[in-house]
Amino acid sequence: MVNSQKKIAVVALGGNALLPETQVGTFEEQQANADTAAEVILGIVRSGYEVILVHGNGPQVGQVLAQNEESAAKIPMMPLDVCVAATQGTMGYMLTTALRRAIKRLGIDKNTLTVLTNVAVSHTDQAFQNPTKPIGGFFSAEKAQEMKETKGWQMVEDSGRGYRRVVPSPKPRKIMESQAIRDLALAGNIVIACGGGGIPVAKVNEKLTGLEAVIDKDFASSLLAEEIGADIYIVLTGVSQVAINYGKPNMQLLKKINVSEAEKYMAEGHFPPGSMGPKIKAALDFISAGGKEVLITSAEKLEAALQGESGTYIVSC
Ligand code: ADP
Ligand code: MG
Protein backbone atom coordinates (compact mmCIF):
# COMPACT_ATOMS: atom_id res chain seq x y z
CA MET A 1 0.00 0.00 0.00
CA VAL A 2 1.17 3.48 -0.83
CA ASN A 3 1.42 5.74 2.20
CA SER A 4 0.76 9.41 1.48
CA GLN A 5 2.43 10.42 4.78
CA LYS A 6 5.80 9.54 3.32
CA LYS A 7 8.18 12.38 2.50
CA ILE A 8 9.87 12.48 -0.91
CA ALA A 9 13.25 14.05 -1.68
CA VAL A 10 14.30 14.67 -5.27
CA VAL A 11 18.10 14.77 -5.28
CA ALA A 12 20.14 16.20 -8.16
CA LEU A 13 23.75 15.01 -8.43
CA GLY A 14 26.31 16.64 -10.78
CA GLY A 15 27.78 14.44 -13.54
CA ASN A 16 31.24 15.41 -12.34
CA ALA A 17 30.62 13.68 -9.00
CA LEU A 18 30.52 10.35 -10.86
CA LEU A 19 33.38 11.13 -13.24
CA PRO A 20 35.60 14.03 -12.10
CA GLU A 21 37.98 15.72 -14.57
CA THR A 22 40.95 14.24 -12.68
CA GLN A 23 39.98 10.69 -13.74
CA VAL A 24 40.04 9.00 -17.17
CA GLY A 25 36.78 7.21 -16.47
CA THR A 26 37.55 3.50 -16.25
CA PHE A 27 34.66 1.30 -15.17
CA GLU A 28 36.41 0.71 -11.81
CA GLU A 29 36.73 4.46 -11.18
CA GLN A 30 33.12 5.16 -12.06
CA GLN A 31 31.81 2.25 -9.98
CA ALA A 32 33.88 3.42 -6.98
CA ASN A 33 32.42 6.94 -7.38
CA ALA A 34 28.94 5.43 -7.54
CA ASP A 35 29.66 3.50 -4.32
CA THR A 36 30.57 6.79 -2.61
CA ALA A 37 27.41 8.47 -3.95
CA ALA A 38 25.29 5.55 -2.71
CA GLU A 39 26.47 6.12 0.88
CA VAL A 40 25.36 9.74 0.62
CA ILE A 41 21.96 8.78 -0.80
CA LEU A 42 21.37 6.32 2.01
CA GLY A 43 22.08 9.14 4.48
CA ILE A 44 19.03 10.91 3.01
CA VAL A 45 17.00 7.70 3.22
CA ARG A 46 17.96 7.31 6.88
CA SER A 47 16.79 10.81 7.67
CA GLY A 48 13.32 9.72 6.63
CA TYR A 49 12.91 10.45 2.92
CA GLU A 50 11.92 8.36 -0.08
CA VAL A 51 14.63 9.30 -2.58
CA ILE A 52 14.47 10.00 -6.31
CA LEU A 53 17.96 10.55 -7.71
CA VAL A 54 18.62 12.59 -10.86
CA HIS A 55 22.21 12.44 -12.10
CA GLY A 56 23.99 14.62 -14.65
CA ASN A 57 25.84 12.95 -17.56
CA GLY A 58 28.05 15.68 -19.09
CA PRO A 59 31.37 13.78 -19.03
CA GLN A 60 29.72 10.40 -19.74
CA VAL A 61 27.67 11.44 -22.78
CA GLY A 62 30.83 13.12 -24.09
CA GLN A 63 32.53 9.73 -23.96
CA VAL A 64 29.66 7.93 -25.71
CA LEU A 65 29.80 10.54 -28.47
CA ALA A 66 33.57 10.08 -28.80
CA GLN A 67 33.06 6.30 -29.17
CA ASN A 68 30.51 6.98 -31.91
CA GLU A 69 32.81 9.43 -33.69
CA GLU A 70 35.82 7.07 -33.49
CA SER A 71 33.98 4.07 -34.93
CA ALA A 72 31.80 5.93 -37.45
CA ALA A 73 33.50 4.25 -40.43
CA LYS A 74 32.42 0.80 -39.18
CA ILE A 75 29.26 1.27 -37.12
CA PRO A 76 26.54 3.83 -37.88
CA MET A 77 26.57 6.83 -35.53
CA MET A 78 23.63 7.13 -33.18
CA PRO A 79 21.76 10.40 -32.71
CA LEU A 80 22.27 12.35 -29.48
CA ASP A 81 18.95 11.31 -27.89
CA VAL A 82 20.04 7.68 -28.22
CA CYS A 83 23.42 8.53 -26.63
CA VAL A 84 21.62 10.16 -23.65
CA ALA A 85 19.45 7.03 -23.33
CA ALA A 86 22.63 4.91 -23.33
CA THR A 87 24.09 6.87 -20.40
CA GLN A 88 20.86 6.50 -18.43
CA GLY A 89 21.38 2.76 -18.76
CA THR A 90 25.09 2.56 -17.93
CA MET A 91 24.96 5.07 -15.09
CA GLY A 92 21.72 3.66 -13.76
CA TYR A 93 23.32 0.22 -13.71
CA MET A 94 26.39 1.40 -11.78
CA LEU A 95 24.28 3.42 -9.32
CA THR A 96 21.79 0.64 -8.62
CA THR A 97 24.66 -1.81 -8.08
CA ALA A 98 26.23 0.64 -5.63
CA LEU A 99 22.90 1.23 -3.87
CA ARG A 100 22.19 -2.51 -3.57
CA ARG A 101 25.61 -3.07 -1.98
CA ALA A 102 25.05 -0.25 0.52
CA ILE A 103 21.45 -1.29 1.26
CA LYS A 104 22.63 -4.82 2.07
CA ARG A 105 25.56 -3.67 4.19
CA LEU A 106 23.43 -1.25 6.23
CA GLY A 107 20.46 -3.59 6.49
CA ILE A 108 17.99 -1.05 5.06
CA ASP A 109 14.58 -2.24 3.85
CA LYS A 110 14.57 -0.77 0.32
CA ASN A 111 14.88 -1.76 -3.29
CA THR A 112 16.22 0.34 -6.14
CA LEU A 113 15.67 0.68 -9.88
CA THR A 114 16.29 2.96 -12.82
CA VAL A 115 13.56 4.52 -14.94
CA LEU A 116 14.50 5.40 -18.50
CA THR A 117 13.02 8.89 -18.62
CA ASN A 118 11.74 10.91 -21.58
CA VAL A 119 11.27 14.64 -21.18
CA ALA A 120 8.92 16.56 -23.43
CA VAL A 121 10.28 19.76 -24.96
CA SER A 122 8.82 21.96 -27.66
CA HIS A 123 10.43 21.55 -31.07
CA THR A 124 9.70 25.25 -31.62
CA ASP A 125 11.65 26.20 -28.46
CA GLN A 126 13.86 29.25 -29.15
CA ALA A 127 16.88 27.12 -28.18
CA PHE A 128 16.61 25.26 -31.50
CA GLN A 129 17.34 28.54 -33.35
CA ASN A 130 20.23 29.25 -31.04
CA PRO A 131 22.22 26.15 -29.98
CA THR A 132 24.58 27.04 -27.14
CA LYS A 133 25.74 23.84 -25.51
CA PRO A 134 29.13 22.50 -26.75
CA ILE A 135 29.40 18.69 -26.60
CA GLY A 136 31.80 15.94 -27.67
CA GLY A 137 35.28 16.19 -29.16
CA PHE A 138 37.19 18.80 -31.17
CA PHE A 139 37.32 18.72 -35.01
CA SER A 140 39.54 20.34 -37.64
CA ALA A 141 37.95 23.07 -39.80
CA GLU A 142 37.76 20.60 -42.72
CA LYS A 143 36.13 17.80 -40.71
CA ALA A 144 33.76 20.34 -39.09
CA GLN A 145 32.62 21.42 -42.56
CA GLU A 146 32.05 17.77 -43.53
CA MET A 147 29.92 17.12 -40.40
CA LYS A 148 27.93 20.28 -41.12
CA GLU A 149 27.15 19.03 -44.61
CA THR A 150 26.59 15.33 -43.94
CA LYS A 151 24.94 15.45 -40.49
CA GLY A 152 23.56 18.98 -40.37
CA TRP A 153 25.52 19.65 -37.17
CA GLN A 154 26.08 23.22 -36.03
CA MET A 155 29.73 23.81 -35.29
CA VAL A 156 31.52 26.60 -33.39
CA GLU A 157 35.18 27.41 -33.02
CA ASP A 158 36.02 26.88 -29.33
CA SER A 159 38.76 29.18 -27.93
CA GLY A 160 41.44 28.29 -30.52
CA ARG A 161 41.23 24.56 -29.69
CA GLY A 162 39.31 23.50 -32.79
CA TYR A 163 35.68 23.14 -33.82
CA ARG A 164 33.00 21.64 -31.60
CA ARG A 165 29.44 20.65 -32.15
CA VAL A 166 26.88 22.81 -30.35
CA VAL A 167 23.39 21.55 -29.56
CA PRO A 168 20.24 23.28 -28.35
CA SER A 169 19.31 23.18 -24.67
CA PRO A 170 15.51 23.51 -24.69
CA LYS A 171 13.37 24.06 -21.61
CA PRO A 172 11.88 20.85 -20.17
CA ARG A 173 8.06 21.02 -20.28
CA LYS A 174 6.90 17.69 -18.90
CA ILE A 175 8.53 14.59 -17.43
CA MET A 176 6.75 11.78 -19.26
CA GLU A 177 7.12 9.15 -16.50
CA SER A 178 6.72 11.35 -13.40
CA GLN A 179 3.60 9.61 -12.06
CA ALA A 180 5.24 6.17 -12.30
CA ILE A 181 8.43 7.53 -10.73
CA ARG A 182 6.43 8.90 -7.78
CA ASP A 183 4.51 5.63 -7.32
CA LEU A 184 7.75 3.62 -7.37
CA ALA A 185 9.32 5.91 -4.74
CA LEU A 186 6.26 5.70 -2.47
CA ALA A 187 6.32 1.91 -2.83
CA GLY A 188 9.77 1.84 -1.17
CA ASN A 189 12.18 2.05 -4.09
CA ILE A 190 15.13 4.40 -4.40
CA VAL A 191 14.43 5.55 -7.95
CA ILE A 192 17.06 6.77 -10.39
CA ALA A 193 15.32 8.89 -13.02
CA CYS A 194 15.72 11.68 -15.53
CA GLY A 195 19.47 10.99 -15.91
CA GLY A 196 21.36 13.60 -17.91
CA GLY A 197 18.29 15.85 -17.81
CA GLY A 198 16.23 13.20 -19.61
CA ILE A 199 15.86 12.14 -23.24
CA PRO A 200 14.46 15.13 -25.18
CA VAL A 201 11.31 14.21 -27.10
CA ALA A 202 8.60 16.18 -28.87
CA LYS A 203 5.64 15.70 -31.12
CA VAL A 204 6.87 16.55 -34.60
CA ASN A 205 4.17 16.33 -37.30
CA GLU A 206 1.98 14.42 -34.83
CA LYS A 207 4.68 11.81 -34.26
CA LEU A 208 6.65 11.30 -31.01
CA THR A 209 10.27 11.94 -31.97
CA GLY A 210 13.60 12.11 -30.10
CA LEU A 211 15.47 15.38 -30.63
CA GLU A 212 19.20 16.08 -30.75
CA ALA A 213 19.44 18.36 -27.74
CA VAL A 214 20.66 18.36 -24.14
CA ILE A 215 18.25 19.36 -21.39
CA ASP A 216 19.77 21.14 -18.39
CA LYS A 217 19.65 18.65 -15.50
CA ASP A 218 19.07 21.47 -13.00
CA PHE A 219 15.83 22.48 -14.77
CA ALA A 220 14.73 18.88 -15.44
CA SER A 221 15.23 17.82 -11.81
CA SER A 222 13.35 20.81 -10.38
CA LEU A 223 10.49 20.16 -12.80
CA LEU A 224 10.40 16.53 -11.67
CA ALA A 225 10.37 17.68 -8.01
CA GLU A 226 7.49 20.01 -8.88
CA GLU A 227 5.46 17.41 -10.81
CA ILE A 228 5.66 14.76 -8.11
CA GLY A 229 5.10 17.27 -5.27
CA ALA A 230 8.44 16.55 -3.56
CA ASP A 231 8.80 17.67 0.06
CA ILE A 232 12.37 18.79 -0.54
CA TYR A 233 14.54 19.36 -3.61
CA ILE A 234 18.22 18.73 -2.82
CA VAL A 235 21.03 19.85 -5.13
CA LEU A 236 24.41 18.19 -4.52
CA THR A 237 27.25 20.09 -6.13
CA GLY A 238 30.89 21.17 -5.71
CA VAL A 239 30.33 23.62 -2.82
CA SER A 240 28.83 23.13 0.65
CA GLN A 241 27.06 26.50 0.59
CA VAL A 242 25.95 29.14 -1.88
CA ALA A 243 27.69 32.47 -1.41
CA ILE A 244 27.42 36.09 -2.38
CA ASN A 245 30.62 37.69 -3.67
CA TYR A 246 31.73 34.13 -4.40
CA GLY A 247 35.52 33.72 -4.50
CA LYS A 248 36.14 37.33 -3.41
CA PRO A 249 37.67 38.50 -0.12
CA ASN A 250 34.24 39.73 1.03
CA MET A 251 32.57 36.39 0.25
CA GLN A 252 29.61 35.63 2.51
CA LEU A 253 28.14 32.13 2.85
CA LEU A 254 24.36 31.89 2.85
CA LYS A 255 22.60 29.66 5.39
CA LYS A 256 18.97 30.34 4.55
CA ILE A 257 17.46 32.72 1.99
CA ASN A 258 13.94 33.38 0.82
CA VAL A 259 12.72 33.89 -2.73
CA SER A 260 13.00 37.67 -2.74
CA GLU A 261 16.56 37.57 -1.37
CA ALA A 262 17.52 34.96 -3.99
CA GLU A 263 16.00 37.09 -6.75
CA LYS A 264 17.82 40.18 -5.51
CA TYR A 265 21.22 38.39 -5.38
CA MET A 266 20.54 36.91 -8.82
CA ALA A 267 19.80 40.36 -10.27
CA GLU A 268 23.03 41.66 -8.66
CA GLY A 269 24.98 39.01 -10.62
CA HIS A 270 26.11 36.74 -7.77
CA PHE A 271 25.11 33.53 -9.58
CA PRO A 272 26.82 33.00 -13.00
CA PRO A 273 24.81 31.53 -15.91
CA GLY A 274 27.10 28.51 -16.50
CA SER A 275 27.19 27.22 -12.91
CA MET A 276 25.23 28.47 -9.87
CA GLY A 277 22.73 30.54 -11.92
CA PRO A 278 20.69 27.60 -13.28
CA LYS A 279 20.60 25.94 -9.85
CA ILE A 280 19.12 29.06 -8.21
CA LYS A 281 16.67 29.51 -11.09
CA ALA A 282 15.64 25.84 -10.83
CA ALA A 283 15.22 26.26 -7.06
CA LEU A 284 13.03 29.33 -7.56
CA ASP A 285 10.92 27.47 -10.17
CA PHE A 286 10.27 24.70 -7.62
CA ILE A 287 9.34 27.10 -4.81
CA SER A 288 7.11 29.29 -7.01
CA ALA A 289 5.22 26.13 -8.06
CA GLY A 290 4.42 25.46 -4.39
CA GLY A 291 7.55 23.55 -3.27
CA LYS A 292 8.47 24.00 0.40
CA GLU A 293 12.24 23.99 0.52
CA VAL A 294 15.42 23.56 -1.48
CA LEU A 295 18.79 22.56 -0.07
CA ILE A 296 21.99 23.25 -2.02
CA THR A 297 25.12 21.62 -0.58
CA SER A 298 27.98 19.19 -1.28
CA ALA A 299 27.88 15.42 -0.82
CA GLU A 300 30.45 15.77 1.99
CA LYS A 301 28.35 18.24 3.97
CA LEU A 302 24.93 16.75 3.27
CA GLU A 303 24.54 15.01 6.60
CA ALA A 304 25.40 18.19 8.53
CA ALA A 305 23.15 20.20 6.20
CA LEU A 306 20.17 17.91 6.88
CA GLN A 307 20.68 18.74 10.56
CA GLY A 308 20.76 22.46 9.76
CA GLU A 309 24.50 22.77 10.36
CA SER A 310 25.62 23.46 6.78
CA GLY A 311 24.23 23.96 3.30
CA THR A 312 22.05 26.75 1.90
CA TYR A 313 18.28 26.46 2.28
CA ILE A 314 15.98 28.36 -0.05
CA VAL A 315 12.45 28.83 1.23
CA SER A 316 9.39 30.76 0.09
CA CYS A 317 9.44 33.53 2.71
P1 ADP B 1 27.31 20.86 -11.24
O2 ADP B 1 28.27 19.98 -11.96
O3 ADP B 1 26.89 20.31 -9.91
O4 ADP B 1 26.14 21.34 -12.08
P5 ADP B 1 28.51 23.54 -11.56
O6 ADP B 1 30.00 23.62 -11.67
O7 ADP B 1 27.71 23.73 -12.81
O8 ADP B 1 28.15 22.18 -10.81
O9 ADP B 1 27.99 24.65 -10.50
C10 ADP B 1 28.44 24.66 -9.15
C11 ADP B 1 29.67 25.54 -8.99
O12 ADP B 1 29.32 26.92 -9.11
C13 ADP B 1 30.32 25.51 -7.64
O14 ADP B 1 31.15 24.38 -7.48
C15 ADP B 1 31.11 26.83 -7.60
O16 ADP B 1 32.41 26.62 -8.08
C17 ADP B 1 30.39 27.72 -8.60
N18 ADP B 1 29.79 28.96 -8.09
C19 ADP B 1 29.59 30.05 -8.86
N20 ADP B 1 28.99 31.03 -8.17
C21 ADP B 1 28.77 30.56 -6.93
C22 ADP B 1 28.16 31.12 -5.76
N23 ADP B 1 27.65 32.37 -5.75
N24 ADP B 1 28.11 30.36 -4.65
C25 ADP B 1 28.61 29.12 -4.65
N26 ADP B 1 29.20 28.53 -5.72
C27 ADP B 1 29.28 29.23 -6.86
MG1 MG C 1 26.20 22.63 -13.85
In this prediction, residues 66-87 reach a mean pLDDT of 95
Residue 71 domain-assigned?
yes
Of the two residues 66 and 267, the one the predictor is more confident about is: 267
Residue 211 domain-assigned?
yes
Residue 287 domain-assigned?
yes
Domain with 21 in it: 7-119+178-315
pLDDT of residue 137: 80
Query: Is 92 among the residues known to form the active site?
Result: no
CA-CA distance, 186 to 3, in Å (whole number)? 7
In this prediction, residues 246-260 reach a mean pLDDT of 97
Tell me the β-bridge partners of 298: 237
160 confidence band (pLDDT: 50, 70, 90): confident
Query: Is 133 among the residues known to form the active site?
Result: yes
pLDDT of residue 274: 82
Residue 143 domain-assigned?
no
Ligand 1 atom with the smallest distance to the CA of 239 is: 14
Q: What percent of the chain has pLDDT over 70?
A: 99
24-44 pLDDT tens trace: 999 999 999 999 999 999 999
Task: Verify whether ligand 1 is closer than 6 Å to residue 243 (CB atom).
Answer: yes
CA-CA distance, 213 to 207, in Å (whole number)? 17
Q: What percent of the chain has pLDDT over 90?
A: 85
Q: State the distance between the two ends of the chain, measured CA to CA, in whole angstroms.
A: 35
Residue 130 domain-assigned?
no
Nearest partner of 123 among 168, 178, 159, judged by Cα: 168
Rounded distance from Cα 70 to ligand 1 centre (Å)? 32
**What is the domain-level CATH number for residue 101?**
3.40.1160.10
Task: Verify whether ligand 1 is closer than 6 Å to residue 271 (CB atom).
Answer: yes
Residue 260 domain-assigned?
yes
Residue 248 domain-assigned?
yes
Task: Average the pLDDT over each of 77-81, 150-154, 217-221 and give the range with the smallest value.
Answer: 150-154
Instruction: Give yes or no for residue 221 having a pLDDT over 80.
Output: yes
Residue 156 domain-assigned?
no
Measured over the CA atoms of residue 88, residue 215, residue 275 and residue 230, the dihedral's sign is: negative
pLDDT of residue 4: 61
Task: Verify whether ligand 1 is closer than 6 Å to residue 80 (CB atom).
Answer: no
How many structural domains compose the chain?
1
Instruction: Give yes or no for residue 196 having a pLDDT over 90.
Output: yes
Instruction: Give yes or no for residue 2 having a pLDDT over 60.
Output: no
- Nearest residue by C-alpha to atom 26 in ligand 1: 242
